[in-house]
Structure 1
Amino acid sequence: MAHWDSIIRFTAVEGGEHWAALSLDETAASGLKVKGYASIEALESDGVFAEVTVKNLLAPVPTTGIPIICVGLNYRNHANEASIPIPEDPPMWYKPAAALADHNTSISFPPQAHRSFPDFEGELTVVLRDSMRSVPASKAMSYILGYTIGNDLTARVFQRTSGGQYTYAKGFDKFGPLGPRLVHPSVFSPDQNRRITTRVNGKVVQDSPFDFIFPVDELLSFLSQGTTIPAGTAIMTGTPAGVGWFQNPKCPLKDGDVVELEDHLEGLLQGLHGQLASGQNAIPGYYAQDSEMQPLAYHNPLAVDFLQGYEQQNFTYPILGPNSNGPMQAMTNMESLLQFSPSLEGNPVRTEDSPPFSVEQPVMSPVISASTLFSASTLAEDSKQLLICLYFDHIQPIFPMFRKPMFHQRFHENQIPESLLNAMFAMSSRFVPTSDVFRVFGKFSTPWENFAKLAHQQSHDRLEENIAICLDDIKTACLLAIHEYTNYPGRKAWMYVGNAVRLSLASRLHQIDIKGNSCGLSDADREEWRFVWWAIWKLDSTINVTAVMPFGIDCHTIGSALVSTTVADFTNGITKQSTRTLLDTDSAKSWRAVREMQSLDPGDGFNIHLLAVSLLRGVSQCQQRLYANSTPEELARMMALRNTFSCMRLALPAWYFNAAKRPSEQFHSHRHRLETIIMFHTAHLIINEPVRTLGTEQAHRITGNSLSCWQSSITYAEDLAGVFHHWESEYFAVADPVISCAIWHAHCGLTIHKMSFTDDGNSEVATRIDNALDLLSISLENFARWWQIARILQDSLKVFQMWSWVHLDVSKITEVVAQIRRAINPDSVEPGVVDVSLICSSIPDDTLDGNEENRVWTTDILE
């Protein structure tokens, strides 16, 4: 028999599946020239072989159609960290055959797993040469073909709920990555002199000798008693201390993590936890997902791409309510279990699941260590030009802050601060075409995160020097706030918005046009300052509307005029003489200024859009005040705001609210008008929602009048959905991502309405609502291709829809509506959720009669 130290299984460039022997100092990698054998038997007998080239490395098991056996609690140090008594016998379970993972395999990561604390477990894995049954420990080692390493991927939450679902938590497809090589027992023995090590981003998180409670021989003997274990079975022997669940703070895997597992003589199995693209077929080096699944991929010769984005402000994608009491997550209050440190930098408290896309197709770059950083200054010149071009194509139309000719002039003169360039590239790097990704970023999969981190650090260093604030500082702060909020809209992002607002106020950007403020600016420069100011104001407005939080800007102090130039002209360096028109800050009477603003509008609807945002801002402020203190004055203001919409419709031209594109309407003008219509509809929805008043008997009760208003205004949610009949697919890549919050709000409102008022006898209404929900769902999905904030909201809607069969008690509407008004809650560890416990409490007992499983499940949620 020919001896081998280690072997690999692989597919060859020339075709077919093969085995090959490697010395321990050879690296298993694609492109390696080897002698390929059809089987291990052929290799060991020095039989027929072919000279072949390794193409894809596979899991090193001779049989792939059998389950993987897993053993738990087999390290004393792991039992100690979990505060679990040493077991008398080894706990065990199975991973299904489909859990086996090869390299370069696209893995669909189901939502119920990726939002349930995905965790790593580095484990020594035994592969059997022969079938075994009732084998004594003294003979068990002779049945071993070899050793490899693996990662027992686990959706940790399921282990702690529902009775302890170990098989379910660990049995998802591709949850058992193994390899890349199998080491012969003659050159490797799992004794106390060897160690197993796991690193995350270069940091050692597991490092332990093989301190087995049940040594391998005893383990195999126990497992085989009365049970036939087939030849080729892989047996994972347990993990040592240091898994993410028991880190302090808890540390689930996140996008961009590099996980390395090492059994020293076996080499490395790297786990590259990467963001994967949504949509079309995978291409070499990239991986795709469908709209229902979150992907996970095994990537490069020794690499495994772990779980695509879940948000790690607490531990997972936001799904089921501010207090996380939902069935698909932890059916207990996980906030206290999974609270993370809200550090600004360095601490992995957040992930980005936004896939990068070109206009043509989705993109996912391979991932390398997050410790290796590059900056705008180190990029090749053509790469910089590409990112600048993409910025002006995709970001400038949403937040116009630059005159392109002047920017390019300053860029060529090296006058653009690197912090600003990095902030710009953090926004535009998502849009790099597939063909340019490797050329521009090499193996970086989330370059936007890299750029944002550097921009934040550079900006922070500048502020520490207490240098006078300049416009570049404000632009940088604004872009960083947008980046953070559209990736993970938690507390950190909300504070970034506040920082941008404070910088703009400190520089008096809000008072450019007040008497006596000459600022020494040319008219063209002053117009640029106005554009930047309104970008900041819009950011403060829309984000605090979605968060239902007080605004950082007092509109009564604004002394900066509206812009007098179209976004297109401004971008091209053309500015017009300012009309010095101020925004009407009285939202309830804003309709009076509509005709004047329209006559003075530069021509693309930019100022009318700001008027709609102002109305939305006023509506949100009124509702916030009513919640805190329902005074007669605020109730009167609410009535005036409701009347404003009718006045607004009469003040605007008859064609304005017809979402169809007019023959003379340009691409961005039409897109801008549709966004404005959506803002109007959202404001109308909010002002008619039942008010939950703090500290009164009506706090949890809906009045007949407010119920009637809300029922009537729900048609505006349908109208909002109808806008997307005329929304062109190209708009998603250049539209304000906050529109995804409006979509989410309308979708939730329609769902609640359907759960509360639509009965089987009114099929027309039900069909109409279902059609609107379909339009909103597909629209949010399209936004999610570009913006992580939309993905967060989309995931929460999927879970919310699971409960749409429940008939929601009318008495619960106020509480549920109060939640959906807050699309993003910066005070929550899981922003963008609906607490389904309120829905569960509406389920009548007779609904659960005869179904004890549903009864227990629902009771668990409520508790």
Structure 2
Amino acid sequence: MALNPDEAIQWQLPESSVVNPTDSGPQASATGNSRVCDSCIRSSVIRAVPRAHAAPRAEKLASIPLKGVDLVRSQAHIVVHQHLEPILVGRRQLNYEEPSIVTQNPSPTTSVSGLSFIRSFEAPNQEAPIRAPVDIGPTEEQHLLERYFDIVQDANPIYSKERFLSRYRNSLCDSGLISTITTITTKLTRPMSVEESATIDTRLDSLLSSSTVQENLFTDFPSLDQYRKSCVLAIYEFHQFPGHQSWVRIGILTRMAFRTGLDRLENLRKLEPEWRALSKEDMEEWRAIWWCIYRLDSYSNLSSGTPYLVSEDLIATALILCSPSQPMNDAEAPLPVLLSAYSETPWKLLPVITSHPETMYANIHNITIMMMRQVGQITRVAQLRLLGEMSSRITEVERRLAALRLALPPNWLNPKRNAFSHESHVDHHARLVTVLFLLMARLLLAILCCSGQQEEGWLMSWQQVLEICQDIASIAEQWNSLFCVKVDPAVSFIIFTALVFLDLHEKSTATSGPTLQRQIHHDKTVLRLQLEHFANIWTLPRLLSLSYATFSESIPGPLAGRHIKTILLRFEAPLHPRWLQFLSNPQKYWDKF
């Protein structure tokens, strides 16, 4: 899952983000890996905004050569205009201690399905006392915990908010999990003074650099709260500190889920009496952990063009069909539904899913992710084979996509809110995210079909790329910026990809007519503004926005068909190292066109 550490990636940052090594502030430790705090990255990018129009951006940006797209968790060196002079970034860097991995396998008497494991679920596994990140009382702490359930709702590893808060009030939750949730919620939602922000940044640096979180997973019976904490940190790090260590964290978390058996909970429930003894609510909590990990595996590998660790065909953990507020007993509980049973016929799963409206959005979310994953796998294989050899697989997945789109509930693809059916704003945006996933799957296929086709076929596929990018822009037109913290910011990959290809269309000689040019310009504007809304909260979309701006200014146009074909051949995935390297300095490759 980890990217090739020998491939240097150059994220573009403004030169105003470069900090002189003589500036005040502690220097990085000479030993161990180091990371740059979120505040430093955010401030460095924001400071560049007023200067964006002072000179061509390509001449003003400095590049960070990073191993495997690592932004902040490896040794942070900035190279200004290709000069390899290391300059320290940030005011604080902490040593990262590699986790000591416990390699012994669970014994039959202490397996993850044994009595010790069940007890570890029932009783909190308390870590050493942790000082609160800022001065907050019990009331404020509970308020922050409640606010957490409004953050990144698409990847929440906790099934029942009410049950979790009840356990918290009874002091049954792991203190490390509570501290992690309140710290991240404070960072993302609460206005703070400079002093408070620095304290929060220090706490986040400590949480992400600590080896304790991962070491706890390598015990024979990691608790539910330990998994929750690992998921919460993995989600935050992936979007706020993108890099190879965030990919590695997700990979370790996924492999530990395999080791525990979270990918086959239905089998464990049949075979192991300890798992069978768990209540329906407890099982749903464990299923919520698994589907959170499934989404993390999808986002991290689809965006970077690396192989998935999870295979849908081998998943034996059921989808969550019951609402947390719905009382459950054995007689009323629905029969388990496995996503793996419908990997080739996803549309057949929709009648079952839509019959449970309380969990419908989350499950359609999983189905559309599965379709994106299937397309991503095809695009990966296509890098190694001729397009003609892939035609049957491409046709097959196109048919699945078409059938799934037609089987969705009425008006599901409507970009606007279905006011006549009383659709809430929350449900509207949850639906829009699934539509974006379907559009991304179609866009990846259209880009793939542009490669290696003859002139007439190429123009048809290139036109389809424009059509899908415009459909993505129509989603952006309806976006409410209040939901940028509520939905998973992984949708920024989709916005970024559509922006790049709309820019190519605007500069293409095949695009003629002032009306179409004005429409493309408008579509680019709304997508860029949507990406900037996400960038106000998260680091990754901020960097994607800068990367797009650099690329757009570096290629003035007009572009002939042969130019665009060459650019398309370089596209592998939105965050693939070679693609990002090309976007950071396309002029370097221009002579080869």
**TM-score for the superposition, normalised by structure 2:** 0.76
The answer as to 2:440 corresponding to 1:682 is: yes
Quote the residue 1:796 is aligned against: 547
How far did 1:815 drift? Answer: 4.7
Please give the alpha-carbon distance, in whole angstroms, between the structure 2 residues aligned to 1:691 and 1:620: 13
Change (3 A) 1:813 1:832: closer
Distance 2:41 2:392 in 1: 52
Equivalent in the alignment of 1:755: 507
Letter matched to residue 443 of structure 2 = L
Aligned-residue CA RMSD (Å): 4.0
Q: Which amino acid aligns with 1:552?
A: L
Q: CA deviation at 1:311?
A: 6.9
Does the Cα contact within 8 Å between 1:310 and 1:317 map onto a contact in 2?
A: no
C-alpha displacement of 1:504? 1.3
C-alpha distance in 2, partners of 1:592/1:586? 7
Aligned partners of 2:33 and 2:96 also within 8 Å: no
**Equivalents in 2 of 1:617, 1:563: separation in Å?**
20
1:488 is matched with 241
Does residue 1:561 correspond to 2:311, yes or no?
A: no
1:373-772 equivalences under 5 Å are 374-375=131-132, 380-396=137-153, 398-434=155-191, 437-438=192-193, 442-445=195-198, 447=200, 450-451=203-204, 453-454=206-207, 456-463=210-217, 466-514=219-267, 515-516=270-271, 519=275, 520-566=277-323, 570=324, 577-584=333-340, 587=343, 589-602=345-358, 604-630=360-386, 634-663=390-419, 664-690=422-448, 705-706=457-458, 708-759=460-511, 761-772=512-523
Q: Which has the higher contact order (CA 8 A, sep 6+)?
A: 2
What SS class does the counterpart of residue 487 from structure 2 fall into? coil
In the alignment, the residues of structure 1 paired with residue 87 and residue 406 of structure 2 have an alpha-carbon distance, to the nearest angstrom, of: 51
Q: 1:581 Cα deviation (Å)? A: 1.5
Amino acid at match of 1:769: I
Structure 1 residues 632 and 594, CA, compared in 2 at 3 Å: closer, same or farther? farther
The answer to whether the aligner puts 1:837 opposite 2:587 as a matched pair is yes
In the TM superposition, what are the counterparts of 1:179-328 in structure 2 within 5 Å?
Answer: 200-201=25-26, 255=37, 275-276=42-43, 292=50, 313=66
What letter corresponds to residue 613 of structure 1 in structure 2?
I
The answer to whether the 8 Å contact 1:398/1:736 transfers is yes
Asked if the contact 1:803–1:839 (Cα under 8 Å) also holds between the matched residues in 2, the reply is: no
Counterparts of 1:422 and 1:788, CA distance in 2: 22
Check whether the contact 1:250–1:338 (CA below 8 A) recurs between aligned residues. no
473-482 vs 393-402, greater mean Cα deviation: 393-402
Kept after mapping to 1: 8 A contact 2:507/2:557 = yes
SS of equivalent to 2:520? helix
Do the aligned partners of 1:587 and 1:641 also contact (CA within 8 Å) in 2? no
Q: Which secondary structure state, in structure 2, belongs to the residue aligned with residue 688 of structure 1?
A: helix
Match of 1:119 among 2, 9, 20: 20
How far apart, in 1, do the equivalents of 2:579 and 2:320 lie?
Answer: 38
**In 2, distance between residues paired with 1:689 and 1:631?**
12
Change (3 A) 1:651 1:404: closer
Matches within 5 A, 1:776-791: 776-791=527-542
1:596 Cα deviation from its structure 2 partner? 4.0
Separation in structure 2 between the aligned mates of residue 557 and residue 721 of structure 1, nearest angstrom: 36
Name the CA distance, whole Å, in 1 between partners of 2:141 and 2:240.
23
Per-residue CA distance 1:665-701 (angstroms, 9 max, x = gap)? 12321111000011111110001113699xxxx6xx9
Q: Give the 3 Å change call, closer, same or farther, for CA 396–679 of structure 1 in structure 2.
A: closer
Paired residues of 1:420 and 1:475 also in contact (CA < 8 A): yes
- 2: distance between equivalents of 1:691 and 1:427? 42
* Structure 1 residue identity aligned to 2:141: K
Number of residue pairs the alignment of both structures matches: 522
Q: Is the 8 A contact 1:426 1:449 kept in 2?
A: no
The answer as to 2:564 corresponding to 1:813 is: yes
Higher fraction of helix: 2
Which secondary structure state, in structure 1, belongs to the residue aligned with residue 515 of structure 2?
helix
Residues 842 and 830 of structure 1, relative CA distance in 2, 3 Å threshold = closer
Code of the aligned partner of 1:512? L
Q: Is the 8 A contact 2:353 2:360 kept in 1?
A: no
- Checking the alignment, whether the CA contact within 8 Å between 1:504 and 1:533 is kept in structure 2 is yes
Higher fraction of strand: 1
- Give the counterpart letter for 1:201 in structure 2: P
Contact 2:158 2:228 in 1 (8 A): yes
Percent same amino acid at aligned positions? 19
1:616 Cα deviation after fit: 0.4
Question: CA distance change for structure 1 residues 517 and 559 in 2, over 3 Å: closer, same or farther?
Answer: farther
Query: 1:816 deviation in Å?
Result: 2.7
Cα offset for 1:654?
Answer: 4.0
Task: Could you tell me which runs of 5 or more consecutive residues in structure 2 were left unpaired when the two chains were aligned.
Answer: 1-11, 53-61, 72-77, 98-129
- Cα shift readout 1:384-436 (whole Å, capped 9, x = no counterpart): 224312212224454252422322233234332233234323431223432xx
- Relative to structure 1, the CA distance from residue 395 to residue 812 in structure 2 (aligned partners, 3 Å threshold; closer, same or farther) is same
Equivalent residues of 2:157, 2:228 under 8 A apart: no
Q: Do the aligned partners of residues 604 and 644 (structure 1) sit closer, same or farther apart at CA in structure 2, a change above 3 Å counting?
A: closer
Return the alpha-carbon distance in structure 2 between the equivalents of residues 404 and 510 of structure 1: 23
Give the AA of the match of 1:687.
L
Query: In the aligned structure 1, how far is the partner of 2:237 from the partner of 2:88?
Result: 17
Deviation per residue, 1:544-569 (Å, 9 max, x gap): 11111100112111111111134xxx
Distance 2:545 2:492 in 1: 9
2-side partners of 1:476 and 1:785: how far apart?
25
Instruction: Please give the per-residue CA displacement for 1:605-624, whole angstroms capped at 9, x wherever unaligned.
Output: 22111111100000000111
The answer for the alignment partner of 1:187 in structure 2 is none
Q: Does 1:346 align with 2:94?
A: yes
Q: What is the CA–CA distance in structure 1 between the aligned matches of 2:456 and 2:344, rounded to whole Å?
A: 24
Deviation sequence 1:703-726 (CA, Å, 0-9, x none): 753553233232111001101222
For 2:15 and 2:397, locate their aligned partners in 1 and report how far apart those are by CA, in whole Å: 44
- Cα 1:587–1:841 change in 2 (3 A) is farther
Structure-2 change in CA distance of 1:838 and 1:679 (3 Å): farther
Distance 2:301 2:284 in 1: 26
User: Structure 1 residues 378 and 750 mapped into 2: Cα distance closer, same or farther (>3 Å)?
Assistant: same
Q: Sort the Cα spacing of 1:404 and 1:643 in 2 relative to 1 into closer, same or farther, 3 A.
A: closer
Structure 1 Cα separation of the partners of residues 354 and 311 of structure 2 = 24
**Counterparts of 1:675 and 1:553, CA distance in 2:** 22
Report the counterpart of residue 106 of structure 2 in structure 1.
Answer: none
- Whether the 8 Å CA contact 1:405–1:573 is kept in 2: the answer is no
Q: Structure 1's 490 and 256: CA in aligned 2 closer, same or farther, altered over 3 A?
A: closer
> Counterparts of 2:27 and 2:44 in 1: how far apart (Å)?
25
Hey, what's the Cα distance between the residues in 2 that align with 1:310 and 1:414?
Answer: 48
Q: Is the 8 A contact 2:344 2:400 kept in 1?
A: yes
Query: Does 383-392 or 629-638 show the bigger shift?
Result: 629-638
> Quick one: distance in 2 between partners of 1:406 and 1:458?
26
Distance 1:463 1:451 in 2: 19
Give the letter aligned to residue 480 of structure 1: L
